[in-house]
Amino acid sequence: MGKHTIFFHNAPSIVCTYSAAGKKESEGPIGSLFDYVLEDDYFGEKTFEKAECKMLSTVIEKVIKKSGYRKSDIDALISGDLLNQIVSASFAARDFNIPYIGIYNACSTLTEGLALGATLTDGGYMSDVIVATGSHFSTAERQYRYPLEFGSVRPPQSQWTVTGAGAAIVSRKGKGPKITAATFGKVVDYGVSDANNMGAAMAPAAMDTLITHFNETGRKPDYYDLIVTGDLGALGSRILKHIISQNGYEITDNHVDCGEIIYNIDEKEYQGGSGAGCSAVVFNSYIYRKLKEKELNKVLFSATGALLSTTTTQQGETIPCISHAVALEND
């Protein structure tokens, strides 16, 4: 056992997942796999913030229903999003009479939640927890960039915040793909300050966590059928493959990035999806289904997050990033 990696000896499993996403996401390569597609970005609400909150409460409610559990079976809700004070997650949690653990690690919130959920259930402190994260393009735009109708130009290295949310139930007993290990990441900052180039900022964090995981578990990249990163996008993925191979690890053949596969991207326009909803939607639909159907049996899932705010960007700070990894395996 290494310093940053935990092995889960009781192997908690992910028994059920649910994903909801917007229209643009549903038109992407894996769009047909989502459980629910929003008809419009308002989702029947008056503001986009309310819509984001409703997306989260919808996936939480639906994952309970889909799993056949009762609300009272759930011991805790671990949830987070991108907005200031993680309002969407917290406001969604008030609809449920379940203890709520609010977390924030930007776009790596999902794997942070899965790792925490696995720790709580594996340790025997809880039996079933829900991990839910989400993001919304329109709320993220107004928080991080410009008003929607403002006619600005999006630089080609930028990414598109995913409108979507996903929830997963991590259980000590139930059946499903097991979480066998988790590697908690360090905050890594290589000095990228361009907030439009998240992929470049986050790639070193992904590399750091992946290499730590390989070193501490003694596993090689080819141990896994698939190594999934969160939302590096096309550019960030290319950077990751390059810098990790410089350190002696090859992931070219079995790496996929959630941000890269969620949209039909034109790299001259943008590099793919991002946001807490990106990995949530892709993992809880596509990746989970592949695991469940045993097309994939060993997956390392390392979502990445850029821990910046508009204030720090305006003050000229570089972008600290993080990545947490969970290993998912079938028996």
* Residue ranges that bind another protein, judged by CB under 8 A: 46-47, 49, 142, 146-157, 189-192, 197, 200, 204, 235, 238-239, 242-243, 267-268
CB atoms within 10 A of CB 246: 9
**Smallest distance from the beta carbon of 133 to another protein, in angstroms?**
23
Shortest Å distance, C-beta 318 to another protein: 8
**What number of residues does the chain have?**
331
Alpha-carbon radius of gyration of the chain:
18
Region class of 43: left (phi > 0), else alpha (psi between -120 and 50), else beta: left
Shortest reach from residue 49's CB to another protein, in Å: 8
Q: Smallest gap, in angstroms, from Cβ of residue 151 to another protein? A: 2
What's 35's DSSP letter? S
Nearer to another protein, 39 or 149 (CB): 149
CB of 274 to another protein, least distance (A): 16
Could you tell me where the DSSP H helices lie in the chain? 23-26, 48-67, 87-93, 109-122, 137-144, 198-217, 233-246, 258-261, 276-282, 288-292, 310-314
Q: Pick between residue 238 and residue 298 the one whose CB is nearest to another protein.
A: 238
Q: Which is nearer to another protein, 63 or 202 (CB)?
A: 202
Minimum CB separation of residue 279 from another protein in Å reads 22
Contact 76, 58 (CB under 8 A): no
Smaller CB separation from another protein, 70 or 268: 268
CB of 51 to another protein, least distance (A): 11
Query: Helices 137-144 and 48-67 meet at what angle, rounded to 10?
Result: 140
Nearer to another protein, 65 or 154 (CB): 154
- Residue 30 or 321 with smaller CB distance to another protein: 321
3-class DSSP state of 152: coil
Decide: helix, strand or coil at residue 168. strand
| Widest CA span in the chain | 54
Q: State the Cα torsion 161-165-291-28 to the nearest 10°.
A: -50
Residue 120 vs 140, nearer CB to another protein: 140
